[in-house]
Amino acid sequence: MTFTDLLPFVGLGVAMCAALSWIIRAQISMSKQFTPNGGASFRDALDRVERCLAETRTEVKELRTKGEERDERLINSIGKVHGRLDEHVRDHLIAKEK
Q: What is the pLDDT of residues 4-58, one digit of tens each?
A: 888 888 899 999 999 999 999 999 888 877 777 777 888 888 999 999 999 999 9
C-beta of residue 41 within 8 angstroms of C-beta of residue 32: yes
Q: What is the pLDDT of residues 66-79, one digit of tens each?
A: 999 999 999 999 99
pLDDT of residue 54: 97
pTM above 0.85, yes or no: no
Q: How far apart are CA 10 and CA 13, in angstroms?
A: 5
Q: Where are the domains of the chain?
A: 1-33, 38-98
C-beta of residue 89 within 8 angstroms of C-beta of residue 83: no
